[in-house]
Amino acid sequence: MRELTYGQGIKEGMRIKMLENPDVFIFGEDVGLFGGCFGVTSGLFEEFGEKRVRDTPISEGAIIGAAVGAAAVGLRPIPELMFVDFATVGMDQLVNQAAKMRYMFGGKLKLPMVVRLPSGGGVAAAAQHSQSLEAWFTHVPGLKVVYPSNAQDAIGLMLTAIDDDNPVIYLENKTLYAVASQVEDEVKPIPLGKANIKREGSDVTIITYGKQVYDSLKAAEMLEKDGIDVEVIDLRSLYPLDTEAIFESVKKTHKVVIVSEEAKRGSYAGELAAIIADECFYECDAPIKRVCALNTPIPFSGNLEAYVLPNADDVVQAVKSLF
Amino acid sequence: MKISNETIIEMYEKMVKIRKFETRAMNLFAEGQVGGFVHLYIGEEAVATGACESLRDDDYITSTHRGHGHILAKGGDMKYMMAELFGKETGYCKGKGGSMHIADATKGILGANGIVGAGHNIATGAGLGIQYKGTDQVCACFFGDASTNQSTFHEGLNLASTWKLPVVFICENNGYGISVSQARHQNITDISQRAVSYNIPGITVDGNDVFAVFEAVQEAVARARKGQGPTLIECKTYRWRGHFEGDPTVYRPEGELEQWKKKDPIPRVEKYILDNQVMTQAEMDKLNEKIDALVEEAVDFALASKFPDISSAVEDVYTDIVEEGRSR
């Protein structure tokens, strides 16, 4: 075992594949000389050169669109935008092009590309640099969506995402980049659609991903003192989704709390609740609860932002409301 | 063009205001008193100042992530700006926006903006509104060199030129899109060339010469007010600081910053003022002291102000709906 930060994990996943396959290359906003807005690609420009780690103009449409085109002719691009919020500028290329080309063309095209998008709030970056837009991506048929919470998953999911022949949205939480965790010496690819039970429990299931895995584990510890035994599931992959792990857990605990950093209305958390209600309604002996951000843009001021974003106390409160 | 002494003094005062405000903001960030992303305008003061000097109070501007200079030049109040940087309830945006999103509708400031290239089409829309209402106002659109690679630049210029909208597109070419130098992000040197595609006037001026910017924008504003459509003005300048505070600027060639510091727009005006006896050195010193005091007043105001009550977090999403809060 060794210790790596989340950011280093993302980089290692890309680096392994770049060493293995000359068709894998990175381009995006400040990924080269600068090493990425959050330092994730630092050193790769020096190691692989400008052909494979290329700075682009600030042109999100061009970045995502060029990835679509490059993937269509057989490469495996990894485009990066500085913030998930900027994906909205390139959304046509992602939603109308990347997600649909294979289907529209009758399955005759492969688009292997991994779009890296730093997400989430908590860094006083205000409304246009702090969003959690996973529901936008999971809503669109044709896109796969992953969201690692730690270095090992970051590597394993990246290895799989790069090898995947479909467009994969790779969401990263920007408050986790510097968070270190233990990583196996040789990390294996993690299949998409395979959740990770972070903590086993029998009284209630918390379903979460990304940064909220930490909040949920903290809440679980707090709840343990009250005699509530919490199971925490880290989804890792939002689509494909490990429904089997979810249903099994619900059948065991009969209570569900879903935790995400999204604005609650129209959230992916809502989709999870609907899936559980569809398939496991009679297994639930309490309402399915969601702990999310409030339905507001993310404010700048620290106390407002902390209020808008969900935290461990909110998770504790939601769990307790079920008993 | 003969520029009146009054105008020269006003422009000098604005440039010094911007420099001193930004320098104070830089120090406050370094001390950890101000957080988030702060993009400073130091070195580019002549652009906002020269441009806004040609505008009336009822004219509009759109700004960028590097917006403090535009806001000050258009008549924004330092106190409310500083309070916003601190995230206080007395700030321009009640602490909701921060450095990157300062706006003051009463001054025609349609907002600083965190999305590169977002202003081009918003300014075009403001121009449409002006034309629709039949007034002789204009909208000045500030944007950086890198934003001219966004589709919005081309969409905005195309629409504004086709409909002859009263918009002045002012490109602050500071040589970099974040870490990527102009030569690495576009295949042209003079961005004003892009005006050719839209059959509108396009000129390049020395963006560190406030008089040159003023004259160019004066002419463009006059054309816009007469219904003759938009102009593209490229102001060549340089940002002294990194893209944001905390940026180590590893991408800058050695000596480049020092070369540009020699072209500092403020001493150039000072020299003109002294050579032409617009003001004495003593008068300039006094003005500088006055501005120092204003900046300190703004900091004191910000420090004395309260952080917003958390209940305000769910207000202002809509005009008529207050979103649900949470029990904590």
User: What confidence score (pLDDT) does residue B131 get?
Assistant: 97
User: What confidence score (pLDDT) does residue A50 get?
Assistant: 95
CB contact under 8 A, A294 and B326: yes
Query: For chain A, what is the mean pLDDT?
Result: 97
- Would the pLDDT of A210 be above 90? yes
CB contact under 8 A, A304 and B116: no
Q: Strand, coil or helix: what is B96?
A: coil
- Class of residue B45 by CB neighbours under 10 A (exposed 0-12, middle 13-18, buried 19+): buried
Q: 3-class secondary structure for B48-86?
A: HHHHHCCCCCCCEEECCCCCHHHHHHCCCCHHHHHHHHC
- Would the pLDDT of A183 be above 80? yes
Residues from B contacting A (CB-CB < 8 Å) are 35-37, 84, 87-88, 93, 95-98, 100-101, 113-117, 146-147, 149-151, 177-180, 184-186, 250-251, 307-308, 310, 312-314, 317, 323-328
Spatial contact of A231 and A202, defined as CB atoms under 8 Å apart: yes
Domains of chain A: 2-183 (3.40.50.970), 196-320 (3.40.50.920)
Q: 3-class secondary structure for chain A?
A: CEEEEHHHHHHHHHHHHHHHCCCEEEEECCCCCCCCCCCCCCCHHHHHCCCCEEECCCCHHHHHHHHHHHHHCCCEEEEECCCHHHHHHHHHHHHHHHCCHHHHCCCCCCCCEEEEEEECCCCCCCCCCCCCCHHHHHCCCCCEEECCCCHHHHHHHHHHHHHCCCEEEEEEECCCCCCEEEECCCCCCCCCCCCEEEECCCCEEEEECCCHHHHHHHHHHHHHCCCCCEEEEECCEEECCCHHHHHHHHHHHCCEEEEEEEECCCCHHHHHHHHHHHHHHHHCCCCCEEEEECCCCCCCCHHHHHHHCCCHHHHHHHHHCCC
Q: 3-class secondary structure for A236-256?
A: CEEECCCHHHHHHHHHHHCCE
- Would the pLDDT of B311 be above 90? yes
Nearest-Cα distance to chain A for B190, in Å, is: 16
Element containing residue B223 per DSSP (H, E): helix B210-225
DSSP states along B23-46: HHHHHHHHTTSS-S-----TT-HH
What percent of chain A is modeled with pLDDT above 90?
99
Torsion sign, CA atoms A234, A239, A244, A247: positive
Please give the average per-residue pLDDT across B306-313, as a whole number: 97
Please give the average per-residue pLDDT across A30-49, as a whole number: 95
Task: Report cis status (omega within 30 of 0) of the bond before A148.
Answer: no
Q: Of A121, A75, A314, give the one whose Cα is nearest residue A218.
A: A314
CB contact under 8 A, A58 and B87: no
User: What confidence score (pLDDT) does residue B327 get?
Assistant: 87
Which tens digit of pLDDT belongs to each residue from B217-230? 999 999 999 999 99
User: What confidence score (pLDDT) does residue A199 get?
Assistant: 98
User: Which of B37, B100, B325 is the closest to A294 by Cβ?
Assistant: B325
* B1 band by pLDDT with thresholds 50, 70 and 90: confident
For chain B, percent helix, then strand, then coil, each to nearest 5?
50, 10, 40
Q: In whole angstroms, how far apart are CA A163 and each of A43, A144, B34?
A: 23, 13, 43
- Would the pLDDT of A4 be above 90? yes
* Burial state string for B172-188 with b = 16 or more CB within 10 A and e = fewer than 16: bbbbbbbbbbbebbbee
CB contact under 8 A, A58 and B186: no
- CA-CA distance, B157 to B147, in Å (whole number)? 13
CB contact under 8 A, B185 and A301: no
Please report residues of A whose CB lies closer than 8 A to that of B178: 29-30, 34, 37, 58, 82
Mutate to test the interface with B, among A41, A59, A64, A309 (most CBs of B within 10 A): A59
Q: Which two tokens stand for residue A142?
A: 């044709």
Element containing residue B167 per DSSP (H, E): strand B167-173
**What values do phi and psi take at A147, rounded to 5?**
-150, 85
In which residue are the tokens 């089409």 written?
B121
Spatial contact of A200 and A230, defined as CB atoms under 8 Å apart: no
**What values do phi and psi take at B221, rounded to 5?**
-65, -40
Task: Kindly identify which residue of chain B lies nearest to residue A297, measuring between CA atoms.
Answer: B317
Query: For chain B, what is the mean pLDDT?
Result: 97
Spatial contact of B75 and B41, defined as CB atoms under 8 Å apart: no
Which tens digit of pLDDT belongs to each residue from A70-101? 999 999 999 999 999 999 999 999 999 999 99
- Is A129 a catalytic site residue? yes
Which tens digit of pLDDT belongs to each residue from B227-271? 999 999 999 999 999 999 999 999 999 999 999 999 999 999 999
Q: Which two tokens stand for residue A164?
A: 């995947």
Spatial contact of A323 and A228, defined as CB atoms under 8 Å apart: yes
User: What confidence score (pLDDT) does residue A41 get?
Assistant: 96
Spatial contact of A49 and A101, defined as CB atoms under 8 Å apart: no
User: What confidence score (pLDDT) does residue B19 get?
Assistant: 98
DSSP character at residue B203: E
B181 contact partners, CB below 8 Å, separation of at least 6: B175, B251
- Class of residue B254 by CB neighbours under 10 A (exposed 0-12, middle 13-18, buried 19+): exposed
* B328 band by pLDDT with thresholds 50, 70 and 90: confident
Q: Which two tokens stand for residue B247?
A: 């940026």
* Burial state string for B266-277 with b = 16 or more CB within 10 A and e = fewer than 16: bebbbebbeeee
Which tens digit of pLDDT belongs to each residue from B180-213? 999 999 999 999 999 999 999 999 999 999 999 9
User: Which of B115, B177, B326 is the closest to A57 by Cβ?
Assistant: B177
Q: Of B61, B67, B139, B72, give the one whose Cα is nearest residue B101.
A: B67
Number of C-beta neighbours around residue A296 at 10 A: 21
- Would the pLDDT of A162 be above 80? yes
CB contact under 8 A, A33 and B114: no
Number of C-beta neighbours around residue A61 at 10 A: 18
- Would the pLDDT of B2 be above 90? no
Q: Of A245, A269, A267, A246, give the one whose Cα is nearest residue A259.
A: A269
CB contact under 8 A, B146 and A55: no
User: Which of A296, A313, A317 is the closest to B323 by Cβ?
Assistant: A296
Of A54, A129, A254, A255, the catalytic one is A129
Please report residues of B whose CB lies closer than 8 A to that of A29: 178
Please report residues of B whose CB lies closer than 8 A to that of A89: 115, 117, 150
CB contact under 8 A, A125 and B35: no
CB contact under 8 A, B250 and A297: no
Please report residues of A whose CB lies closer than 8 A to that of B115: 85-86, 89, 128
Length of chain A: 323
Domains of chain B: 5-306 (3.40.50.970)
Which tens digit of pLDDT belongs to each residue from B88-132? 999 999 999 999 999 998 999 999 999 999 999 999 999 999 999
Nearest-Cα distance to chain B for A225, in Å, is: 20
